[in-house]
């Protein structure tokens, strides 16, 4: 049986002992993909991280000067650990930390950039049209011309059969996974850009040129 990735109890037990872990890619690698989006933002731009877990993504963002990051996770231990990580790294906390479910997220505020590293993958383990529900929640939190960058192991993560995805989704980068042997097949993780269909930002198109793989 696969682990209960969609259950808070799974993450609670995991975070009782896990201090730091990076899903799919390091924060440095993910932020390389996000660099063109971060470059056009002021340092106080509101950024939302969905399902922060025990990742150090917010630490790397703050090192780059972005300290208006809201970190959300439905497991309180992740939120405690994220806050402690910032305190340890900088001697204070400027980020926001919220225990919240991304499937019912209602923060009453908009973000220029939404980041998730494998959280949509976790949500895909829930029963029903969960990724679609998540996408609707994220759409409600996207500023005009805001962008959601989602790193996933799936080439089909946002392929919603009936075309009801409320955001325009495109793969802007493919990150090769490490190989044990040179003859192993190429396996990639996929970085999606999701935006409102009406967004005037053409960064997604510009980024096509730097796709890897």
Ligand X SMILES: C[S@@+](CC[C@H](N)C(=O)[O-])C[C@H]1O[C@@H](n2cnc3c(N)ncnc32)[C@H](O)[C@@H]1O
Interface ranges with ligand X (CB under 6 A):
11, 21-23, 51-53, 55, 73-75, 78, 101-103, 117-119, 122-123
**CA distance linking residue 61 with residue 189, whole number of Å:** 21
Nearer to ligand X, 51 or 146 (CB): 51
Least Å from the CB of residue 126 to ligand X: 7
Nearer to ligand X, 7 or 110 (CB): 7
Least Å from the CB of residue 45 to ligand X: 20
Neighbour tally for 112: CB within 10 Å = 20
Helix, strand, coil fractions of the chain, as percent rounded to 5? 35, 25, 45
Least Å from the CB of residue 123 to ligand X: 6
CA-to-CA dists, residue 163 to 93, 134, 167, 195, angstroms: 41, 15, 10, 15
Phi-psi region of 18 (alpha: psi -120 to 50; beta: other; left: phi over 0): beta
Nearer to ligand X, 86 or 199 (CB): 86
Nearer to ligand X, 101 or 170 (CB): 101
Least Å from the CB of residue 198 to ligand X: 27
Residue identified by tokens 């150090």 is 56
Residues 57 and 49 sit within 8 Å (Cβ to Cβ): yes
């Amino acid at each position: 049986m696969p682990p209960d990735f969609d259950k808070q109890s799974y993450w609670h037990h995991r975070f009782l002992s896990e201090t730091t872990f990076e899903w799919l890619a390091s924060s440095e690698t993910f932020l390389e993909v996000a660099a063109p989006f971060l470059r056009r933002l002021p340092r106080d731009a509101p950024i939302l991280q969905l399902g922060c877990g025990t990742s150090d993504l917010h630490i790397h963002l703050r090192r780059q000067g972005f300290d208006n990051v809201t970190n959300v996770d439905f497991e309180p231990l992740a939120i405690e650990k994220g806050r402690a990580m910032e305190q340890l790294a900088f001697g204070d906390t400027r980020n926001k930390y919220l225990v919240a479910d991304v499937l019912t997220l209602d923060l009453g505020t908009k973000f220029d950039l939404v980041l998730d590293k494998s959280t949509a993958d976790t949500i895909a383990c829930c029963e029903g049209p969960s990724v679609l529900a998540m996408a609707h929640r994220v759409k409600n939190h996207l500023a005009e011309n805001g962008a959601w960058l989602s790193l996933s192991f799936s080439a089909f993560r946002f392929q919603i059969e009936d075309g009801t995805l409320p955001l325009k989704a495109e793969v802007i980068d493919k990150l090769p996974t490490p190989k044990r042997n040179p003859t192993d097949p190429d396996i990639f993780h996929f970085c999606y850009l999701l935006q409102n269909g009406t967004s005037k930002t053409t960064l997604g198109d510009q980024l096509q040129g730097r796709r890897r793989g």
